[in-house]
Amino acid sequence: MRPPPSDRALLLLLAAVTALGPIATNLYLPALPAVREYFGATVAGVQATFSVSLVTFSFGVLAWGPISDRFGRRTAVLAGLAILVTGALISLGAQSLGWLILGRGIQAFGTATGLVVARAIVVDLYPADRMARMLANLTMVAVLGNSLAPVLGGFLAEGLGWRAIFGALVIAAATVGLVVWRRLPETRPQMDRPTHGREMVAVAWSLIRMPMFTGCMLQGAAVYATFLVLISLTPYVMISALGRAPTEFGFYYLFIAAGYFFGNWSVSRFMAHHDLHWMVLLGVALTAIGACAALGFVALGFAHPLWIFVPMAVLSYGQGLALPNLTATAVSLAPQHAGVASSTIGFLQQIIGAVCVQWMGHFPTDTAMPMLTFCAATCVLAVGMLYVFPRVEAGKRHH
């Protein structure tokens, strides 16, 4: 039996596994205009390489939680990494946009294991009062690793071509897989009997029928969709509307990464003095303030990227503050089925995000107004949901 790693070592390992998904996305984002030029495709066509990967990622989120509940966390992580490498190799050799979409989709299905199983391992090891803090710490460490990925992706795409991005991803995933094989212990409680498929569906359906769970999921989905639309369309806006080089997106992305990092950092600092609901309220409100500010600046004619990215740093700070607490609240509603709960909320959020990304791909990118209008409207909607779902929950309990 392998000795269990220390809390810090386990946190770093889980962060590496979790970060592979964002790294795979962030490395690829600066290459979107180059992929469009290489295949002679439309923006909406190239967006399919992003939105399809979100859909397959969502199915991975739905699948890996129950798989880890039934077969173990370690087995699920190793299988997911193998699938990730397979998809990256297909993307590396893609000779058509269709093959690239296929490779990206397979790759995304494999990366989903990191997000889902890392959450389940945290639930296995830590009590409920520490869960949000550990999820925030996990995300915070992962953000440090992937915040420079757009910068690296921009230089790889410009210097070696967009295919080099997938070669780098193969090397990174294989390295993490080797460490997982040697160091990650099995954390699933041995006394839990394996959950059967019918029971998993019943648990997921019971969660969806709970207003509190649905509210957490939709609020998280609204905030997350703004992030996905922003990062997938900004590379085009940087070139078409702002006249900037593709590599500049990676540097300005650091504003978003820093905001999210400090949002997660604040969770552990606020935990001693404020409850989860207070942090969700503040986080969702800040996302709306940041999105509306960026829309207002662009509407007034301010054309420098900082007028978009500085307000979006405020938005991402709100995301970092709200999302761990929304996730912890939702997952804690089914502590005996943490994998199913994590999969359900992740699946629904990813599907909503994928629909938004593909839909927004049909709007013009020679101006930032459509993208920022969507972000502002969606964040304001999330604020409204803060008042709706608690009242629905209270009414259901009363009846």
Q: How far apart are CA 18 and CA 23, in angstroms?
A: 9
**Residue 63 confidence (pLDDT):** 83
Percent of the chain with pLDDT over 70: 87
Of the ranges 58-72, 113-127, 185-199, 299-313, the best mean pLDDT one: 299-313
pLDDT at 110 over 90: yes
Q: How far apart are CA 399 and CA 237, in angstroms?
A: 50
**Mean pLDDT across the chain:** 82
Q: Are 147 and 262 in contact (CB under 8 A)?
A: no
* Tokens representing residue 385 in the block: 């949901």
**Residue 354 confidence (pLDDT):** 86
pLDDT at 137 over 80: no
Q: How far apart are CA 62 and CA 352, in angstroms?
A: 14
Q: How far apart are CA 352 and CA 347, in angstroms?
A: 9
Residue range 242-271: average pLDDT? 81
Domain extents in the chain: 7-398
pLDDT in tens, 145-183: 667 788 888 888 888 889 999 999 999 999 999 998 888
Domain 7-398 = CATH 3.30.2090.10: no
Residue range 77-104: average pLDDT? 94
pLDDT at 125 over 60: yes
Q: Which of 295, 302, 308 is CA-nearest to residue 369?
A: 295
Q: How far apart are CA 292 and CA 324, in angstroms?
A: 23
Query: Higher pLDDT residue, 396 or 215?
Result: 215
pLDDT in tens, 199-241: 777 777 777 777 778 888 888 888 889 988 888 888 888 888 8
Q: Are 12 and 141 in contact (CB under 8 A)?
A: yes
pLDDT in tens, 45-81: 898 998 898 889 888 877 887 788 788 888 899 999 9
